[in-house]
Amino acid sequence: MDSVHSTAWGRRRHRDAHLRSIGALACAGAVLFAATQGRAQTAPAPNPFRTVNLNYVYAADLGFGGYSLAGLTANVYTLPLSYSLHGILPDGWTLRLLSPIQLGVYSLNLTDTNGARISINQKSLGLVPGAELDIPLGGRTVVKPFAQFGVVGAFGDDVGNPWAYVFLGGARAISEWHVGETTLSLGNAVVYAGDETVGSGFSEHYVSLQLGGEVRHPLGFSVGNLEPDLGVYANYYYYPAPLQFSRFLEPPLKVENQVEFGFSVGSASPFKLLWLSNPRIGAGVVFGSGLTVWHINFGFPF
């Protein structure tokens, strides 16, 4: 995870057919707050944990959100652009071209061991295009393999090598059942993501195993052609090799398991807003292993 888990937000990333961009939050990479090495007027006490790396890759999987940890505040805002192609593949299959644009905003405010204040601000801008293929299996399950690759640039205070490659790949699957007007969904996924500084420098990668469920039901009224509905969901994330978030003057925080609870609102009947078909939007919170993340979602993230 390249510099500060920038933004935790892929991850759960995802949502309406046109807004769906699994790695939407594609992120930046090898920018790091190495300036923490020595902004003090007098020599700080020796400590092996003096560099704070931004985990942009985590943000890429998360999508749209943020967190605060040990003096670092990381927020990522993603515009999950995509375009769906129909009619060129077998019946029922859909090829979705992804082109998420991500802005990251990071600030680090700390006090060194000698009392000196450290304040650093950076931003990142990235584009990580890719493709997702929706493959129906039976009448209620869709499998969605995907791959993305792009680049992110960073700018602001103390940026060393400002460019990094970002990549994501894996597969998601979602199954749906209808009980009256209620829709029950079960999702699962495996995601491999990583980043690497252009040239030489910091790099990282991780595997995420995900499982979630959602219940969606109409709210019982309509506004014109819109029939609002409400969906609530819970997701579980497991990292076979723990995610690591660096902390100034402290050992890295290792994250092995996280849980997300959230909701989304949309329309129970087909609805189009501008160029978006059946758009949804909601919010959730991801927590566990000492890290809490706020997350804006565009529907059930599978």
Considering only residues 32 and 82, tell me which one the structure prediction assigns the higher pLDDT: 82
- 88 lies in some domain: yes
Res 194 pLDDT > 70: yes
- 270 lies in some domain: yes
pLDDT of residue 80: 86
pLDDT of residue 4: 35
Summarised one tens digit per residue, pLDDT across range 78-127 is: 988 888 887 788 888 999 999 999 999 999 998 888 888 989 898 989 89
- 235 lies in some domain: yes
Q: For residue 42, give the nearest of 147, 142, 120, 112 by alpha carbon.
A: 112
Considering only residues 275 and 213, tell me which one the structure prediction assigns the higher pLDDT: 213
When pLDDT is averaged across residues 8-37 and rounded to a whole number, the result is 36
pTM of the model: 0.81
pLDDT of residue 188: 96
The SS3 call for residue 121 is strand
The model's confidence at residue 59, banded by pLDDT at 50, 70 and 90, is: low
Which of the listed ranges 1-10, 27-36, 99-108 does the model predict with the highest average pLDDT? 99-108
- 4 lies in some domain: no
- 255 lies in some domain: yes
% of residues, the chain, pLDDT over 90: 42
Owning domain of residue 83: 32-297
Q: How many domains does the chain have?
A: 1
Res 235 pLDDT > 60: yes
In angstroms, the CA 265 to CA 232 distance is: 9
- What residue spans of the chain are helical by DSSP H? 56-62
Which CATH number do you get for residue 152? 2.40.128
pLDDT of residue 185: 97
pLDDT of residue 32: 47
pLDDT of residue 184: 97
The model's confidence at residue 243, banded by pLDDT at 50, 70 and 90, is: confident
The CA-CA-CA angle for residues 177, 182, 188, to 5°, reads 45
- 192 lies in some domain: yes
Q: Which two tokens stand for residue 75?
A: 């927020």
| DSSP-assigned letters across all residues of 217-280 | EE-S--BTTB-EEEEEEEEEEEEEEEEEEEETTEEEEEEEEEEEEEEEEEESS--EETTEES--
pLDDT of residue 190: 96
In angstroms, the CA 264 to CA 55 distance is: 27
Q: Which two tokens stand for residue 228?
A: 């609002």
Res 239 pLDDT > 50: yes
For the purposes of burial, counting CB atoms within 10 Å of the CB of 236, is it exposed (0-12), middle (13-18) or buried (19 or more)? middle
When pLDDT is averaged across residues 151-179 and rounded to a whole number, the result is 87
The model's confidence at residue 9, banded by pLDDT at 50, 70 and 90, is: very low
- 171 lies in some domain: yes
- Cα dihedral sign for 284, 288, 2, 113? positive
Q: Which two tokens stand for residue 206?
A: 């991780």
- 2 lies in some domain: no
Res 25 pLDDT > 60: no
Summarised one tens digit per residue, pLDDT across range 200-220 is: 777 888 899 999 999 999 998
In angstroms, the CA 104 to CA 96 distance is: 25
Considering only residues 272 and 190, tell me which one the structure prediction assigns the higher pLDDT: 190
Nearest-Å Rg of the Cα atoms of the chain is 20
In angstroms, the CA 64 to CA 296 distance is: 5
When pLDDT is averaged across residues 173-189 and rounded to a whole number, the result is 96
pLDDT of residue 38: 45
The model's confidence at residue 15, banded by pLDDT at 50, 70 and 90, is: very low
Q: Contact 24/63 with Cβ under 8 angstroms?
A: yes
Stated as kind and residue range, the H or E segment containing 61 is: helix 56-62
The SS3 call for residue 211 is strand
When the pLDDT of each residue in the chain is averaged and rounded to a whole number, the result is 81
pLDDT of residue 8: 32
When pLDDT is averaged across residues 41-45 and rounded to a whole number, the result is 60
